Structure 1
């Protein structure tokens, strides 16, 4: 959301009423009050009054306000003698970030980004893209139609009757539903329904029967995610600085060219195509040359060459390592399939004995799937988050921003009248 640098000015004799109105609105981040790590709501009117800049019978504050909220608040302050004027921000000042996330899906995916850090003010909000990537990666590792449908059922419960102690969990139901649907889709592709029960035919592959094919698909999917992350990173570098930053940054065009060259090189070697290998080498070399120019310009004097060489080597190694890291999508998908197969083999073996062993078979099936569900849900959830933060967000963000922390205060009657 667009932020505006503002000055809040009020006469001393109506300052209490003006501050009460601003505190109730809760749309202005005021300075010079330092909230530190505390809650802005803990700053009362008395402390806010003491922090005012005073001159000639007037009190003033500097701050930030979302542009859509400035006009309506200024109209409310005018009858009290107060004003909320727009200012030109000082050079180099970074406004705080307030993300305009509309809808339940945006709010549900928001914790993925917020846990990592605040999005810089100039950057693109990656919440929706990050959420979609997360559920796809989770589904590939948690591929079982039965387990996925259980997650969808959990999402329905959260939407209709969230736990009374944790009402905010209701906002999480689209996230849980998305993860469950992705797991269900991959389960159908794998032919897994509470394990290899045979109730579903494999529309794509059986993980334990074709692990290499699954591994190649996982790395290919990771390459697509990295390419998307580079696109967002280029846009962010452009918005953060200039066309030069977008060109030279390792997370910009230069890094994207190296990544594209390495991917083309792998494809050329696999296809035994000399022309494709030649193109790949040219693209990668161009990317390295552009990156080297940017790294050399930013390096410390006296060791610029050595620093540039080391950083270029790190760039290539990091790209290869990040791409290979997506093999974990296949590895944990295989783990899930192996656990499901183990539970089903035990269930089938006991069931064939008949008699009282039938009860034992049902017990093994239920408890085994419960353990597999709980264990693999945690593992897949953590691993998908790790891929988001280390492989993808490292290209999307160069740093983190500062969240918008408006001052809110519900004044007591004596505070307004004082």
Structure 2
């Protein structure tokens, strides 16, 4: 398998290769990995000035990698550049410039002032990411002609419909206070559960795939699977709260920086106050940048890739013949 992506997405092949290579019967997840990683990092590290600094660091790292002919270093620099751009964009949305929220106006909202809105946004983002991951698994299963997996298994269409319905019903109840109708619950909750519960029978009858176990074992296995899926999807969704939590952490460190500077000089014009502001921003860029990168990777690998990625492909290596000189 050879990964072929446009220049913007190519650096993120490094993240995909870390988990393994997609096989020929899998969709290359690099473009979606790039989009989701950039979005999560920007949400957590939203600051216009600090984002521009990250872009500069990424540019330097990319040039060093190019000079030393190290592709991984070049790709890491490319990732840092794009993440810096995302952080700058969200900095404009948050109204944050070098840790200060009083220099430029927020085009969206200040995270520290709208905590519930921030958490709701990150949870909804997680719902979309998980649903997209399930869709990719369904497509991969169809490519492998594994129709039982695509339609009835733990990451198949039945579970996708069930998960989406629960989210939609919950949002509608939160907005209107109305419970879903019995027809809607039957069609989008009970029916997918029935299909999942009968997956062994349906797979055997419709697609001649395997045979169900004994009835008692099959019932126990199905009940345990339903509990596992419910807990797993709930945990996966709630896990995206960490995106909002680290956005608040970023804002908190910024407040601490300017509070310390204000203790030295309330006007923040003295050399001591400026030194605290500069070194505070350097610390936030290094520490928070590393943490946000790690958390973005964690969500990518466990919550997103875990829904569809197998990574059992082999890197394409063209066959070459070495010429051997001989005297005549």
TM-score range, shorter chain: 0.7 to 0.9
2:180 to 256, 263, 275: 275
| Alignment correspondent of 2:114 | 210
Indicate how the Cα distance of structure 1 residues 277 and 335 shifts in structure 2: closer, same or farther if over 3 A, else same: farther
**Of Structure 1 and Structure 2, which has the larger fraction of its residues in helix?**
2
| Alignment correspondent of 1:141 | 44
The whole-number CA distance in structure 2 between the counterparts of 1:353 and 1:250 is 59
Whether contact under 8 Å (1:264, 1:277) holds in the other structure is no
| Alignment correspondent of 2:286 | 374
The whole-number CA distance in structure 1 between the counterparts of 2:66 and 2:250 is 29
Q: How many residues align?
A: 317
| Alignment correspondent of 1:318 | 232
**Cα displacement string for residues 208-247 of structure 1 (whole angstroms, at most 9, x for unaligned residues):** 1111111011101111112222221211111122433311
Indicate how the Cα distance of structure 1 residues 268 and 197 shifts in structure 2: closer, same or farther if over 3 A, else same: closer
| Alignment correspondent of 2:132 | 228
1:333 to 247, 261, 265: 247
1:364 to 258, 269, 276: 276
**Cα displacement string for residues 160-212 of structure 1 (whole angstroms, at most 9, x for unaligned residues):** 55474463223444422221111111111111111124111122221111111
Whether contact under 8 Å (1:299, 1:308) holds in the other structure is no
**Cα displacement string for residues 382-402 of structure 1 (whole angstroms, at most 9, x for unaligned residues):** 111111111111112256333
Indicate how the Cα distance of structure 1 residues 163 and 245 shifts in structure 2: closer, same or farther if over 3 A, else same: closer
| Structure 2 segments unaligned to the other structure (5+ residues) | 204-209
1:293 to 183, 193, 198: 198
Q: How is 1:238-253 mapped onto 2 (pairs within 5 angstroms)? A: 238-253=142-157
| Structure 1 segments unaligned to the other structure (5+ residues) | 1-96
Whether contact under 8 Å (2:111, 2:118) holds in the other structure is yes
The whole-number CA distance in structure 1 between the counterparts of 2:48 and 2:189 is 41
The whole-number CA distance in structure 1 between the counterparts of 2:229 and 2:220 is 14
**Cα displacement string for residues 126-173 of structure 1 (whole angstroms, at most 9, x for unaligned residues):** 101111100100111111111111112223334555474463223444
The whole-number CA distance in structure 1 between the counterparts of 2:166 and 2:65 is 48
| Alignment correspondent of 1:82 | none
Moved more, 121-130 or 396-405: 396-405
| Alignment correspondent of 1:17 | none
Aligned-pair RMSD on alpha carbons? 2.6
Normalised to the residue count of structure 1, the TM-score between the two structures is 0.69
Q: Is 1:120 the counterpart of 2:23 in the alignment?
A: yes
The whole-number CA distance in structure 2 between the counterparts of 1:187 and 1:310 is 45
Q: Which has the larger radius of gyration?
A: 1
Secondary structure, aligned partner of 1:274:
coil
The whole-number CA distance in structure 2 between the counterparts of 1:281 and 1:145 is 48
Q: Is 1:401 the counterpart of 2:302 in the alignment?
A: no
Normalised to the residue count of structure 2, the TM-score between the two structures is 0.87
